[in-house]
Amino acid sequence: GDSVTQMEGPVTLSEEAFLTINCTYTATGYPSLFWYVQYPGEGLQLLLKATKADDKGSNKGFEATYRKETTSFHLEKGSVQVSDSAVYFCALYSGNTPLVFGKGTRLSVIA
């Protein structure tokens, strides 16, 4: 079945550091890919998405590129802030079920 694998956390970075959170997927066909973010005490909210190969999703300084050849959708940000501390979820939609999520990666950014 469809699945998403994310790097294990937690990830701890200093402010202004470069962030990469790895995400790879297994799916039939050509899924759409998403990153959701969950801030403390809140529900998940969509951060960015890409619906076809080579698309780049971007929002709030975060970017991720849909790489079909490596079945990956890694999340990157050039300079993280304390306010980026949250749990990040990679997810896919392939038409079989509403969304398939990864386990989430907790990011802590320290000043």
Partner 1 sequence: ETGVTQTPRHLVMGMTNKKSLKCEQHLGHNAMYWYKQSAKKPLELMFVYNFKEQTENNSVPSRFSPECPNSSHLFLHLHTLQPEDSALYLCASSQGLASSYNEQFFGPGTRLTVL
**Site of interaction with partner 1 (CB under 8 A):** 4, 32, 41-46, 49, 51, 89, 93, 95, 97-104
CA atoms within 13 A on the CB side of 2: 20
Nearer to partner 1, 51 or 83 (CB): 51
Rg (CA), the chain: 13
Q: Could you tell me the smallest distance in angstroms from the CB atom of residue 93 to partner 1?
A: 6
51 — alpha (psi -120 to 50), left (phi > 0) or beta? alpha
Task: Please answer whether residues 92 and 99 qualify as being in contact, where contact means their C-beta atoms are separated by less than 8 angstroms.
Answer: yes
Nearer to partner 1, 6 or 77 (CB): 6
Q: Could you tell me the smallest distance in angstroms from the CB atom of residue 7 to partner 1?
A: 13
Nearer to partner 1, 49 or 74 (CB): 49
